[in-house]
Amino acid sequence: MAMSTKPQGARVRLRLSSRLEDVIVVRQLLGGFADATGLSAADLSDIGTAVTEACNNAAAHAYGGDDGPLAVDVLARDAEVVATVRDWGVGMALDGGSPVEFPSDVDGELTGIGVPSIKALASAARWTEPPGGGTEVEMTFPTAAVVRATSGPEAELAGFFDDEPSGPVHAIEVEMAPGSIARCVLPRLLRVMAARAQFSVDRHADVQRVTSAVLGAGISSWITRGASARVTAVDGSLEVAIGPMSEEDVSRLAIAVGSVEPDLAVAMEPLVGPPRRLVVRMERSPVGARSPRDSTPAGFDMPTIEHAAKRPGWAIALLVETGAMLSRSLDPAITMSQVAQLTIPTLADLCVIDLGNGEGPISDLAAASADPELARGLEELRSRFPLDPRGPHPVARVIRTGEPQLLSEMSPESLQSFAHGYAHARFMIANRYRSAIVAPLTARGRTLGALSTIRLADSEPYDREDLELVCELARGAALAIENAQLFSDLQTAEQRLQAILENLAEAITVVDDTGRTVFANEAALRFLGLESAEELTRSKPGEIMSRFIVRSESGEELELESMPARRLFRGEAAPPLLVRNVVRATGEERWIVVRASPIVDPESGRVMYAANVFEDVTEVKRAQLAEAFMAQASRVLASSMDYAETLQRIAQLAAGELADWCAVDVLGARGQLERVAVHHRDPDRLALAEQIDRRYRPNLADPTGVPEVIRTGQARIFNDIGEEELARYARDADHLRLLTQMGARDVIIVPLAAPSRTIGAITLVSSREGRRLNRADLGVAVRLGRRAGTAVESARLYTERSRIAGVLQRALLPDSLPEMPGFEVAALYRPAGELNDVGGDFYDVFPYRRDRWMLVIGDVCGKGAQAASVTALARHTLRAAARLETPPVAMLELLHHTLRSQEPEGQMCTVCLVVVDPPGARPPGTHMGLRIALAGHPRPLIVGPGGTARAVGEPGTILGMVDPIVLNEVAVELGEDDTLLLHTDGVTDAARSHTQSALALENLIAQVRELALPDMLRAVETAAVTSAAGHPQDDIALVGLRLAPDPGAD
C-alpha cells in the first residue's frame, strides 16, 4: 500500500465523496500540489487525467453511480509521483497486469477506456483490495522535476486514508505534508467550496482574505505535523476546520482570522487538546456586528462544533485571549499576572497562580482580584506562610496529584482544615471564600504548579463546566511557563552554539537575504582571508566573493546567484555545491563543499538567513583528481606502442589537467636531449615554447633544469619563479625575453624514469594567470614520470625486439627462389601483425637429386626466438638431408628425431615436402609427376583449370611430438593448366574464420586462378587478411608452382 512508503517528499491526501463535483475538486487541488512541489504542467496533466479516471471508475463501478467515500493520496518524492485512489465500494477485481487494449469499434458505446488510459499514463498501475474492502489503485508516474517541498519522516500524516467514514461524506478533507503545501492547496479548496456554497463575488473576496489570514498566521505546528483541513459547504455557509495545531497556534490563528472578520464564528475542536483544530464558519452573507461575549453566533450548531457551542462566547474569547497573551510575552511573571487578571471578574473574584513541582517549596507567582488590596493581601500571606508541599492545602494536593479540584462550597470549617495557621484561616474566612477551583499547571506531562480561582461571598458557586474551563486556562498558562523556560534554555543554547561555531574547524557564515554577512566564525575569517569579523560585516554583498574565482567542478565560473544560500532565498532547493575556489590575489586553489541551510522566521515562514558551511575537501579532491588523472594517463600509455605519439598525448593530458604547459624531453642514443612532446593550452604560447626549445635546447651538462633532473633522477619544483631566477637560467638577453614572455610561475620537472635508468624528463609549467603547482602536484607528476618512463622503455624494447625478430625471420627464409627451368614458382610470406614476434612459418625451394626439385613449406609451433631457432634447425636439417638424397619420408623422420633430441622438449613442427620431377621427363601435353609427403601439415591444393581445387597428399603425423609417426609419400600429377599451392594454416584459419567453411580456401582460389602466379598468391593473402578483419592471428606462407607455358605448344 502507498501508506507504508516513506513519507519523504511532499504529500497530499484527500477524502471526499465520489460525487462528480467532488472529483473535479481533486484535479483542482492537484494543481495546487503541483504549484507547491514544482511539478511540471505535463506531469500534472497526466497525473490529473489518471486520477480522474480512477475516481470515475470508483464512482461508476464501485458505487454504481451512488455516493460513496473516496480517498486520494498523492506522494511526490525524488523523481516520481505515486498517486493512490481508494474506495470502499464493490471490489472491481481488476487485473493490473493485462496488456493495454483500446477499443477498435468506436461507433458503439465506448467502454473500458478508463483503465487502459491509466495504464498508459502511469509507468506502473496496480489494483488491490485493501483491508476493509473496496479497491485501491496505485499509480506511479516518473516526473521531470525534483520535489520542491520536502518533509521529513516526522511529517507522516495521521491518516484518515485507511478508515472508512462512518456516514455519508459531506465534507472534503485534505491533509498535507509538509504543512507549507497548504499555501497552494487551501486557497483553491476554499475557492471551490465557497462557489459550491453559492457565495457572492464580494463574499468570495472575504473568503480569500480569511484564507490569507490563516496562511499568514504562521502556524508553526504545521511544520512538524503537516496541515489538515476539513471543508464543508452546506446551506449557504462554509465551514473550515484547520489543524492540527498547538494551543498557542489556535489562539494565534483565532486572532488572525478575527482581525479580518471580527464577528466570524470560531470554535476549537476537540475541546481538550492539543492537537487541535480551529473551526471557522462563514455565512453566505456577513453576520452583523455582534459581540462574541454576548452570545454565540446563530447557526453555530453544526455537529462538529456542537460541543464548543455550549460554552458561552465569553469563555471562548477568554481562552483565545489567553493563548494570544502567551505568545506575546516570554516573561513568565508578567504573563502569569496577566492570565490571572483575565479571569477577573467573569470567572473569579480572586485568582492565584502558585508554582511548584511537588518536591521543592511552592512559590507564589501571581495573584489578581478586582480588589487590589485583596490580591496584595494574599501575596503577602503566601510570602509569610509558604505552602507546605506535603500539606493539606488544595494547591499542594493538586500539585502532588496533578488532578484538579472543585471546591464548590467551602465552609469556614473546611477552610480552617487546610489553612496554614491562624492568619491564613482568618484571611480566607474574613474575605468570605466561598467556592474555588484549583487546576494543575501541566505541560508535557509535567506539573509546574497550580492555578486557583476563588469566588467570594455572594458569587455563584463553581460547577463542573467551570472546572473544565479553568483546567483549560491552566493548560494554556502552563504552556506559557514552559515556553518561558524553553526560551531561557534557548538563550543559553544560543550562547553555547555561538561558542561551538567559533571553535568549529569548518568555516561558517550567516548571510541575510540582501547577501550581507552577519556572522562568520574564526575558521570562516581565515578561509576568506580576512583580518576581523568587522571587515566582513562592513563589506558589501558580493564583495567578498569577488576576491575569488569560483568555478564549478566542470570548470565554469560561478555567479553569486548560483551559490546555495542565494538559491535558498529564492525558494529553490539548495543541494551541497562542490566548487573550486581560487584566491585571485595569490592563485591559491581550494576545493570547497558549500552547504547552506535556511534559518526560517517561524512567524512568516520566510527564509531570513542562510547559514553557509564551507568544508575544505581539497586534499580528498586532489587525491581523487590525481587518481583519475593517473588512470587516464595509464590508459593513454597502454593504448599504443608508438611512444612518440603516446608521449604527445600524455603532454596534452597533463597540460589540460595538471598544468598549462607540458613538455617531454628524452635522452637520445648519442646522449643528446630530444624534445619528443610539448603542449600548451594556448596555441601562441605553444609556438613560443617550440621556438625556445629550438634556439636554446638544453645541454645535458647544464647545471639546472631538465639536464639536472635527468642526471640526478631527482624531481624538482620551483614556485613563484621571479625575474632573478629566470635571469640566472637564461643564456642571453633574448632567451630571457622569450622566457619572460612564456610567463612561467611554477615549474615541476620530474624524471622520466625507466626501471633501471632515467631516460628523460617531464616538465610541467603553470603560467601567471593559471593554476598553481604544489607539492601534491609534484607527487602526481613523479608518478606520471615513473609510469611514462616504464611505458616508453618497454615500447622501445618492444620495437627493438620486433626489429630483431624481423631480421631473424628474413634470415630464415630464402632471399629469392631459384630458377626452376620449365616451371613458374612463387612464394609469399606475411608475418602476423606489424610489430609481432617472429612467427614459425618457413618455406624453401632447392634442387633435389640432380634433376629434381624439392618444395618445402612448414610451420614451427610457437613464436619468438625459440620458434626461430627451431625454424632454422628444420630448414637446415631438411636441406642437409636433401643433399644426401634421402627420400622425403626419411627426411621427415630425420627431422622428427632431431626435434625429439632437442632441449627443451616438445618443439614441434609441421612440414609438407613436394618432390617435383624434372620437366624433361615429361612428354608434351602430359601431366607432371609430383610426390608429396605430409607431416601434420595442411594438404596442398591443386587448382584445376575450371577453378576446382582439390587437396592432395595423405595426412601424416606432426613432427617432434609423439612416437611413432606415420608418414606417407603420395604420387600426384600436375596438369598443364594446374597450379600447386602450398600453404600454412594461417591462410586456412583466416579464411575459415570468415566463412565458417573448411572449403573456404578452395573457394577463394577458384576465383583467382586466372591470375599470374605471384598475383594469385597476393590475392589469396589479401583475401585471408581481409577475412581476418585485417589482423590475422597467424603468419601466412604460400608457395605456388605451375608448369611454364610450353614454348613449343603454340
Binding site for another protein (CB under 8 A): 20-21, 23-24, 27, 42, 45-46, 48-49, 52-53, 56, 59-60, 102, 106-107, 109-110, 113-114, 116-117, 120-121, 192, 195-196
Q: Is 48 or 515 the residue whose CB approaches another protein more closely? A: 48
**Comparison of 192 and 981: residue with beta carbon closer to another protein:** 192
CA angle 606, 611, 615 (to 5 degrees): 150
What would the grid cell of residue 151 be?
A: 518533509
Dist CA 839 CA 797 (whole Å): 18
> What is the length of the chain?
1050
Residue 22 Cβ vs another protein, minimum distance, rounded to whole Å: 10
Cβ 1024 to another protein shortest distance, Å: 55
For residue 139, the minimal CB distance to another protein (Å) is 14
As measured in angstroms, the least distance from the Cβ of 511 to another protein is 41
Choose among 1038, 955, 944: nearest CA to 991: 1038
Side chain identity at residue 76, one-letter code: A
How far apart, in whole angstroms, are the C-alpha atoms of residue 932 and residue 934?
7
Query: Is the Cβ of residue 26 or residue 501 nearer to another protein in the bound state?
Result: 26
Of 27 and 685, the one with the shorter C-beta distance to another protein is 27
Sheet strands (E) in 143-183:
171-177
User: 20 or 638: whose CB is closer to another protein?
Assistant: 20
| Percentages of the chain per state (helix, strand, coil), in multiples of 5 | 40, 25, 35
Cα angle 986, 992, 996; round to 5: 165
Q: Is the CB of 102 or the CB of 487 nearer to another protein? A: 102
The conformation of residue 557, written as its DSSP 8-state character, comes to: B
- Nearest CB to another protein, comparing residues 145 and 717: 145
Q: In angstroms, what is the minimal distance from the CB of 25 to another protein?
A: 9
Q: For another protein, which is the closer residue by CB, 85 or 856? A: 85
Smaller CB distance to another protein: residue 27 or 681? 27
Q: Which is nearer to another protein, 193 or 317 (CB)?
A: 193
Rg (C-alpha) for the chain, rounded Å, is 49
For the bound state, the minimum distance from the C-beta of residue 121 to another protein, rounded and expressed in Å, comes to: 7
Q: Is 853 exposed, middle or buried (0-12, 13-18, 19+ CB in 10 A)?
A: buried
Q: Minimum distance between the CB of residue 183 and another protein, rounded to whole angstroms?
A: 22
- What is the 3-class SS of 387-423, one letter each residue? CCCCCCCHHHHHHHHCCCEEECCCCHHHHHHHCCHHH
Q: Judged by CB, which is closer to another protein: 56, or 902?
A: 56
Distance CA 997, CA 663 (A): 53
Write phi, then psi, for 834 (nearest 5 degrees): -70, -40
In the complex, the smallest distance separating the C-beta of residue 65 from another protein, rounded to whole angstroms, is 10
How many angstroms from the chain centroid is the CA of residue 435? Answer: 69
**DSSP assignments along 952-1013, one per residue:** -S---PPBTTSSS----EEEEEE-TT-EEEEE-HHHHHHHHHHH--TTHHHHHHHHHTTS-H
- CB 867, CB 902: distance < 8 Å: no
Task: For another protein, give the closer residue by CB, 191 or 852.
Answer: 191
Question: In 49-108, at which residue ranges do the beta strands (DSSP E only) sit?
Answer: 69-77, 80-87
Asked if 314 and 346 count as a contact pair (C-beta separation under 8 A), the reply is: yes
Gap between the Cα atoms of 482 and 963, Å rounded: 104
Shortest Å distance, C-beta 45 to another protein: 4
CB of 167 to another protein, least distance (A): 23
d(CA 1009, CA 865): 36
Q: Where are the beta strands (DSSP E) in 881-967?
A: 909-916, 928-935, 941-943, 949-951
Nearer to another protein, 194 or 470 (CB): 194
Minimum Å gap between C-beta 175 and another protein is: 23
Minimum CB separation of residue 144 from another protein in Å reads: 14
| Least distance (Å) between residue 104 CB and another protein | 8
Place of cell 595423405: 954
Show Cβ contacts of residue 406 under 8 Å, excluding neighbours closer than 6 positions.
437, 462, 463, 464, 466, 467
* CB proximity list for 680: less than 8 A, separation 6 or greater: 655, 660, 661, 662, 686, 689
Measured CA distances, 27 to 44, 47, 55, 62 (Å): 9, 9, 10, 20
